[in-house]
Amino acid sequence: MIMLQNTPSRISLIGFMGSGKTTVGRMLAGRLKYSFLDLDDLVEENAGKSIRTVFAEQGEREFRKLETEALYSLTARNKVVIATGGGAAVQEENMAFFKENSFTLYLEVSFDEFLRRTGQDPYRPLLKRAEKELRGLYNARLPIYRELGRIIKTGGKSSQIITDEILTLLGSDG
C-alpha cells in the first residue's frame, strides 16, 4: 500500500449505496480527530427539506444541483471526512472536486452485498427502481468510482477493519 506523508485535509468516501460510507466516515473522522460531514445531511440542511421531499417535489435534477453546491462549499473546510451520496461522484460537474480538492476513497461493495445491506430502505429514493435498473446503475457507476478513488474493498469486512485499512493507507495510527 502507498503511504502518504501527511494526512490530507479533506477525505471523501465515494461508492454505491450501502457501501458503508457514513458508518466508516464517522469512525474514520473520530480516529483522525477530524469533523465528519454527510453530504446528504448538508443538502437537507441547505434545502430546508428532506432529500425524499426534494426528489418528490423538484426531481433528481434539482437534488443534484443542490448536492453540487453543497459539495463545492466544502473546498475551504479542513480536517473533514465527507461521506457522499452514491451518485455524487458520478456527476460530471463534481469530478474535479474528488480529483483536485479531496483525497478520495472508493468503498467498493458488490451488487449482491448492496442489496443485502440496503433492503427496502424507504429513505433511499433510488431503491424504488427495479433490480435490473439498479444493476445497470451500479455497473455504469463502477468505472467512474474506480477512476476517482483509491479502492477499498468492503465485502465481508467490519467497519472497524475498513477504517483500519484506510488509516494504514494514510500512514496514520489514528
Cβ within 8 Å of residue 70, ≥6 positions away: 39, 42, 43, 46
pLDDT category of residue 2 using cuts at 50, 70 and 90: very low
In a domain, 1, yes or no: no
In a domain, 6, yes or no: no
Identity of the amino acid at 47: A
Which CATH number characterizes residue 23's domain?
3.40.50.300
In a domain, 147, yes or no: yes
In a domain, 134, yes or no: yes
Rounded Cα distance between 22 and 74, Å, is 17
- Chain segment 34-48, per-residue pLDDT in tens: 999 999 999 999 999
Beta bridge mates, 12: 82, 104
Cell of 66: 443542490
- Mean pLDDT, to the nearest integer, of 96-123? 84
Check residue 171 and give left, alpha or beta (phi > 0: left; psi -120 to 50: alpha): left
pLDDT at 4 over 70: no
- Chain segment 114-151, per-residue pLDDT in tens: 877 776 655 555 566 677 888 998 999 999 999 999 99
In a domain, 4, yes or no: no
pLDDT value of residue 123: 57
In a domain, 136, yes or no: yes
In a domain, 2, yes or no: no
In a domain, 55, yes or no: yes
* Residue 100 lies in domain: 12-168
Could you tell me the CA-to-CA distances from 73 to 37, 42, 106, 132 in Å, in that order? Answer: 12, 10, 21, 35
Could you tell me the CA-to-CA distances from 172 to 7, 37, 160 in Å, in that order? Answer: 7, 20, 15
pLDDT value of residue 134: 84
Q: How many domains does the chain have?
A: 1
pLDDT value of residue 124: 57
